Amino acid sequence: MENIDAARLQMAFTLIFHIVFACIGMVMPFFMIVSHKKWLNTRNPIYLKLTKSWQKGVAIFFVTGAVSGTALSFELGLLWPEFMKHAGPIIGMPFSLEGAAFFVEAVALGFYLYGWGKINEKFHWFTGVIVGVSGVASGILVVAANGWMNAPSGFDYINGEFLNIDPIKALLNPAWFTQALHMTLAAFTATGFAVAGIHAYQILKNGILNYIKKHLKLL
């Protein structure tokens, strides 16, 4: 196998793995905080149980997405050094901002997971909101970098050199909005259907429909 084919295969394998967990990790915090808000409003224990069940999934998908995303960041430099040599100074901003969003998400998730009964209830819930918002922001920034590869902008190519670099223009390239919108909506749609399917299967298998009718009065 040629080196370039091996590099493409390795990058593709990591991306296929990462995008699934990253999309779920973007969306699940919003399901979690909606359930948490219902618990705060109603004090119905089933909402608390659902929130704590979903927070475990959020933690697992966050860790899995973080590890696979870190592998991708190393692969960009190790597998495509010439590309990053020239592209790095141009699209370094979205990657840097994505890193900042990731750390905000990590800190907020720590507050949320270990804050039960230890911090103010409203602030505790708000840390969950930060987890969701920073996760979506992180995804949008990465997609903006990908959009730049489809619609390069923010530089002038003169005599074989990349000059007059404008990182803001590179970040807000012609493709970033449509790709980010598509990716975000697709993540919410796919994850929503997956979550609904899993819980529908649990209802069918465990026969808890009457329990849900009684306690939530949704049906």
User: How far is residue 170 from each of residues 50, 107, 129, measured CA to CA in Å?
Assistant: 42, 29, 29
pTM: 0.89
Domain total for the chain?
1
pLDDT tens digit sequence for 96-136: 999 999 999 999 999 999 999 999 999 999 999 999 999 99
Count other C-beta atoms under 10 Å from residue 26's C-beta. Answer: 26
Dist CA 213 CA 153 (whole Å): 55
Domain carrying residue 111: 3-216
pLDDT tens digit sequence for 64-85: 999 999 999 999 999 999 999 9
pLDDT tens digit sequence for 143-201: 999 999 999 999 999 988 899 999 999 999 999 999 999 999 999 999 999 999 988 88
